[in-house]
Amino acid sequence: METFKVPVGISNRHIHLSHDHIEALFGEGYSLTKMKDLSQPGQFASEETVTLIGPKGAIAGVRVLGPARKASQVELTATDTFKLGVKPPVRDSGKIEETPGIDVEGPKGRIHMNKGVIIAARHLHMSPQDAEKYKLDDGQYIRAIVPGSRGGILDQVLVRVSPDYALDLHVDTDEGNAFSLVNGQLLEVCLP
């Protein structure tokens, strides 16, 4: 594989909610209001935010991403986990078995999620066309090379291939800050 460049997307803490949880937090029959589109087709940041309440503290203004998902999932940075007092594992999105839960408060109610809190593992979204072009398969790992005074290499970047995906390397704000990354910056990636 030759190296190629991909844009970086830096995710702040956020929450995905099931339809039931949206209703419990925002009211019966409620549906999310799109604020802006995200890099992945069909995904959007909503106008809605919630408060996360952990054993040690709370974080308000946590953005709800839409559309509704089958299962609610909270994606935190490691920095956030100290403030809240929760100890989630680093996980691929959707793999929420044996993850901690948390309390979530919205304007119309409060729920307890009994699982679903993760620190999202680095990953690279791509379409099947991109995967073919770059000779990569879903589930492979690549590494990304970061230039600059806080440069280095991000290893263990999971390749995720789907017709629903656009080329974007997702890290969280801890990773973005550690490497002085900016949204949309192009990073060279290669096989480990």
Which residues are near a copy of itself by CB under 8 A?
Answer: 77-79, 90, 121-122, 143, 146, 148-156, 171-180
CB of 104 to a copy of itself, least distance (A): 22
Closest C-alpha among 31, 4, 2 to residue 18:
31
Q: Residue 114 or 149: which CB sits closer to a copy of itself?
A: 149
H/E stretch holding 115 reads none
CB of 52 to a copy of itself, least distance (A): 17
CB of 95 to a copy of itself, least distance (A): 12
Residue 37: Cβ within 10 Å count: 11
CB of 144 to a copy of itself, least distance (A): 8
What b/e sequence results for 149-176 when a residue is b if at least 16 CB atoms lie within 10 Å of its CB, and e otherwise?
eeeeebeebbbbbeeebbbbbbbbeebb
Residue 123: Cβ within 10 Å count: 20
CB of 14 to a copy of itself, least distance (A): 16
Q: Residue 12 or 31: which CB sits closer to a copy of itself?
A: 12
CB of 56 to a copy of itself, least distance (A): 14
Distance (Å, rounded) from C-alpha 143 to C-alpha 46?
Answer: 31
Q: Residue 55 or 147: which CB sits closer to a copy of itself?
A: 147
Q: Residue 31 or 173: which CB sits closer to a copy of itself?
A: 173
Q: Residue 33 or 156: which CB sits closer to a copy of itself?
A: 156
Enter the DSSP assignment of 42.
T
Q: Residue 92 or 105: which CB sits closer to a copy of itself?
A: 92
As given in the structure block, the two tokens for residue 144 are 């990304």
CB neighbours of 143 closer than 8 A, spacing ≥ 6? 153, 154, 155, 156, 157, 189, 190, 191, 192
